[in-house]
Amino acid sequence: MLLRSFFHRRKALMGGLLLLSLGVGLMEGLFILIAKSAVTGMHWRTWSVPLLILAMVVTLRSLSQVAAARLELRGVFAWLAERRGRLLEAAATRRFPAYRDPWRNTLVTSLGSGMDDLSDGLGAGFRCLAAVAQAAALAPVLFLFSWKLAAAAFALAAPAWLASRVRARMLAAAAEGWSNSKAGLALDLENFGDGLEADAGNAGLREATGRLGRELDRHAGTSRRWETAKAVFPPALEWFFFMSLAGLALFAGGAGGAGDAGVQESPVAGGAAGLLPFGALLLLLYRPIREWARNHPVYALGNGAFLSLGNLQATLEAYPLRGPRPQSPSGLVTAEGVRFGYGEGDSVFADFDMALDPGELTWVTGRNGAGKSTLLKLIADIEPPQSGRLLLPPGLDFAYLPQRAFLGPGFGEWLRGFRTARPEAWRELDSILGVEAITAKAGGDGRWEGLSGGEKQRLALARVFASEAGYLLLDEPTTWLTASDRERVLGDLLAIWRRPRADGSIRGGALVSHEPFLGEFCARSLRLETPRAEAVA
């Protein structure tokens, strides 16, 4: 299936690889025929011309293999870039909740280990295909030696072929189990790392390590089955091959090879001894068979990754595109009959209606689980409503700060650019948040992971309030700030946000918080009660 998909998009490249592989097989067959002719029909003093021809044949064979390898790698990387681009494009343009598990874990795993498995599997698939092509080119040469022995060899190869099909199915099952186990283990390790501090502080570290140890043991068992399947596959084919060769020798000994000039020309007398050049060709034919056996397990794993990536791609593309949001004729941020829930039977909002003035600050309050954070996600288009409509004023954009401060790999570049382009705004934010000292502590290379939660929150607040966006969305912005600083810091930042812009407009926002002092800064409040919400002026 993986090779069929590749062939569908790159027929010319696949055709070139097949021709090169057939050429390699033909060169090897020609090598045997020339060598046989030289040994049986020439004196050793006259071998110079055949040796020169053999050297040319071997050189052409090597050049064909090098060309095939280069062509294969170029095609593999181009195809993978295309697949990766399609997946990233779907993630960027489709309205699906990428930040939530299992989507988040599936997407990250697919772009990481999934793409690696696909790359390895596609390369192994090409090597399997090349092996089959080389064997197909060599097989007819057998009939030039002895059609009887060739027919007997193909008859005796049938059990090996049937055994390989059975083993191939077992390999595919083992590969799928190992791939699924690897994805599950990645999630277990992430959860273990995220929970280390909490587990240690609550005397739960022994339980956490024991739980992870059991998952590691389970994965090790799956990995052992996969490695065993890979290790057993080539020797099993070897056994069938050599048993077939022994049976062929017995057949040749009984038949005497009569009627086959190619065998009778052998310099060694006797029917069984006449099998020697034929056996040498069979051993040469065995090399692509073994190459196929070595690479088929990796191809099976890559094929499984291809199917998983295809399913993920189809799932993402089933979600609607992120297009322009419906515009509000009233110029308000409006919800009309919005229904939303995170799971089957779950309902955070049911027929929810609201209207927020984009020029006002709204304090969103309510008990835990009432849907405050969800409301901000719906407004910011992080989550799409399951039904109903959420209408926005034309051209309204957002500055959004989630509960968990995230600086990201591009934060240092933004910080340097903002500090250079708007030094006065930077100094003003520094006077409120102390960002200059925090960035100095992080160092010039931006070692943000060494900062405390409060320091990261201050930097995240600086970036949000430096934004030129038209509407502010803050989710628990004072969580990491000290109690004595919360009201002062947020009040000063909101004063910056509320300054009239060049066109005279005043920016508003929605602020989720349990802090009672927010009532002083907000023109209105919105209290949420599950599964409905009602506005309180």
Q: Give pLDDT tens digits for 152-175.
A: 667 766 666 666 666 667 777 777
In this structure, of 170-179, 327-336, 440-449, the range with the lowest mean pLDDT score is: 440-449
Q: Please count the residues of the chain.
A: 537
- Backbone phi and psi for residue 475, each to the nearest 5 degrees, phi listed first: -115, 105
Output the pLDDT for position 390: 92
- Asked if the model's pLDDT at residue 265 lies above 50, the reply is no
**Distances in Å between the alpha carbon of 467 and those of 194, 336, 448?**
30, 29, 21
Q: Which of 130-134, 336-340, 351-355 has the lowest mean pLDDT?
A: 130-134
Q: Which two tokens stand for residue 24?
A: 């390699």
- Amino acid 425: pLDDT: 94
Q: How many angstroms separate the CA atoms of 329 and 336, rounded?
A: 13
Eight-state DSSP code of residue 110: I
Q: Which of 96-100, 105-109, 180-184, 362-366 has the highest mean pLDDT?
A: 362-366
Centre a 10 Å sphere on the Cβ of residue 445 and count the other Cβ atoms it contains. 7
* 342/475 Cα distance (integer angstroms): 18
pLDDT digits (tens, 9 = 90+) for 227-250: 777 777 667 666 666 666 666 666
Q: Where are the beta strands (DSSP E) in 111-237?
A: none
Give tens-digit pLDDT for 381-419: 888 888 899 999 998 999 999 988 788 778 888 888 999
Between 360 and 279, whose confidence is greater? 360
**386/54: higher pLDDT:** 386
Count Cβ atoms below 10 Å from residue 533 Cβ, excluding itself.
24
Encoded tokens for 292: 């196929």
User: Residue 142 carries which DSSP code?
Assistant: H
Tokens, residue 394: 């034309």
- Region 433-442: what's the mean pLDDT? 88
Q: Scanning the structure block, which residue is given the tokens 């186990």?
A: 181
- pLDDT at residue 2 tops 80: no
Locus of tokens 């250079």: 420
Q: Which amino acid is at 49?
A: V
Q: What is the pLDDT of residue 433?
A: 92
pLDDT on residue 478:
87
3-state secondary structure of 533: strand
Average pLDDT, the chain: 78
CB-based contact 448:456 (threshold 8 Å): yes
Q: What is the pLDDT of residue 236?
A: 67
| Placement of tokens 């006065």 in the chain | 424
What phi and psi values does residue 337 have, to the nearest 5 degrees? 60, 35
User: Average of pLDDT values for 123-139?
Assistant: 79
Centre a 10 Å sphere on the Cβ of residue 286 and count the other Cβ atoms it contains: 18
Report the chain's C-alpha Rg in angstroms: 35
3-state secondary structure of 366: strand
Q: Are 490 and 500 in contact (CB under 8 A)?
A: no
Alpha-carbon gap, residue 420 to 393, rounded angstroms: 33
Q: How confident is the model at residue 10 (pLDDT cuts 50, 70, 90)?
A: low
Q: What is the rounded distance in angstroms from the CA atom of residue 524 to the CA atom of residue 443? A: 41
Q: Which residue has the higher pLDDT, 431 or 264?
A: 431
Q: What is the pLDDT of residue 356?
A: 95
Mean local confidence (pLDDT), 493-503: 92
Dihedrals phi, psi of 508, to nearest 5 degrees = -115, -165
Range of lowest pLDDT (380-384, 441-445, 477-481): 441-445
Higher per-residue pLDDT: 180 or 534: 180
Residue type at position 342: Y
Whole-model pTM above 0.85? Answer: no
Q: In which band, very low, low, confident or very high, does the pLDDT at 532 lie, cut at 50, 70 and 90? A: very low
Instruction: Decide if 336 contacts 391 (C-beta within 8 A).
Output: yes
Q: Where are the alpha helices (DSSP H) in 320-475?
A: 372-379, 411-421, 423-433, 435-442, 453-465
Domains of the chain, each with CATH number or no CATH: 2-317 (1.20.1560.10), 333-409+459-536 (3.40.50.300)
pLDDT at 47 over 60: no
Among 143-152, 204-213, 238-247, 492-501, the range of highest mean pLDDT? 492-501
